[in-house]
Amino acid sequence: MASRPFRVGRSRTGLGLFATEIIPKGTIIAEYRGRRLRNEEADKLADRGNKYLYEVNSRWTIDGSNRRNLARYGNHSCRPNAESDVTRQSKVIIRAIKKIRPGDEITYDYGEDYFDLIIKPIGCKCDKCREKRAEKRRIARKKRLTKLARAARKAEREKVAQVEAKRAAAAASKKKSSSKTKSKKTGAKKVLSKPPKPVVSRQAVPQAPVLDVSEQRKAA
Ligand SMILES: [Zn+2]
C-alpha cells in the first residue's frame, strides 16, 4: 500500500475521503490527529462551533480542526464502510470495517451525540438516509397515484352513469312525447267521434216514438 490509500475530494456534503485503491477490511486508514484538550476546554470550543472535537475518554478530547488532519474530511454515514476507534495509546484511528473499493467514499459513524445534535437538525445526507427518504417519497407518490387513479375511476364511472341516465331520460321523454302525440291524435279522433253521439241521443230523445207507443198501450 502506498503512503495513503485515499484522497480528499468533492463529496455530496462538501469534501470527503475517497479510496484510491482497494482497502481490505480491518485496515487502519488514517489517524484522527490534533492537539489534546481537557474536556472542559473542548466543551467551550464546541459551544463556539468547533465540529472536529473527538472525545477520547472522560478526560481528553482531540481537536481535529487542523486541515492537516485529513481524517476530519471523512464524512458521517449511517451505513459506513469504516469506523473510528480509540487505541490503547489513546490514539483515534479510522479503520475499514469492510472491503473498500477505489472511488468509494470512506465514511464512518460519528456517533449518536453528534448525529442528534448536528446532523439530524439539517438532515443526514448519507446514502442510507437518502435511500430511506427516496423510498418514503416513492411510497407517498404511489399512494398519491393510486388515490388519483381511484378518483379518476370514480369520475369515469360517474360520467358513464350520467351519460346513461341522460340517455335513459332522453329515451323516456321520447316515449312520453310519442305517446302524447298518439293520445293527442286519438283525442282528436275521440273529439271527432264523440260529438255525433250526443247529437244522436239528443235526436233520439225527442224522436222516442216508443214512449208514445207504451203510453198508447197503457192507454189502450
Ligand atoms: Zn444517515
Q: Which residue has the higher pLDDT, 87 or 184?
A: 87
Residue type, 65: S
pLDDT number for residue 220: 47
Ligand 1 centroid to residue 126 C-alpha, Å: 4
> Cα separations (Å) of 152 from 140, 155, 158, 163, 166?
18, 5, 10, 16, 21
- Residues composing the chain: 220
CA pair distance 90, 149, nearest whole angstrom: 61
**Residue 181 confidence class, pLDDT cut points 50, 70, 90:** low
Q: Which of 94-98, 133-137, 144-148, 180-184 has the lowest mean pLDDT?
A: 180-184
Sheet strand arrangement including 35-38: 35-38, 60-63, 53-55
Q: Which residue has the higher pLDDT, 193 or 144?
A: 144
How are beta strands 105-108 and 14-19 bridged, if at all?
antiparallel
pLDDT number for residue 165: 94
**Residue 122 confidence class, pLDDT cut points 50, 70, 90:** very high
Residues 6+ apart with CB under 8 A from 12: 125
Ligand 1 centroid to residue 47 C-alpha, Å: 24
DSSP state letters, 52-103: -EEE-SSSEEEE--STT-GGGGPEE-SS-SEEEEE-TTS-EEEEESS-B-TT
Per-residue DSSP letter, 34: -
107 has a pLDDT exceeding 90: yes
Average per-residue pLDDT in the chain? 86
CA pair distance 108, 115, nearest whole angstrom: 12
Ligand 1 centroid to residue 111 C-alpha, Å: 11
pLDDT in tens, 192-211: 555 555 555 455 455 545 55
Share of the chain above pLDDT 70, in %: 80
Q: What is the mean pLDDT of residues 30-47?
A: 96
Q: Grid cell 476507534 — which residue?
A: 85
Ligand 1 centroid to residue 204 C-alpha, Å: 112
For residue 180, the Cα-to-chain-centroid distance in whole angstroms is 57
CA pair distance 120, 126, nearest whole angstrom: 11
Ligand 1 centroid to residue 189 C-alpha, Å: 92
CB neighbourhood size of 95 (10 A): 17
Ligand 1 centroid to residue 173 C-alpha, Å: 69
pLDDT in tens, 61-83: 999 999 999 999 999 999 999 99
Ligand 1 centroid to residue 129 C-alpha, Å: 4
Q: What is the mean pLDDT of residues 15-22?
A: 98
**Residue 150 confidence class, pLDDT cut points 50, 70, 90:** very high
186 has a pLDDT exceeding 80: no
pLDDT number for residue 177: 76
Q: What is the mean pLDDT of residues 35-54?
A: 95
Q: Which residue has the higher pLDDT, 190 or 10?
A: 10
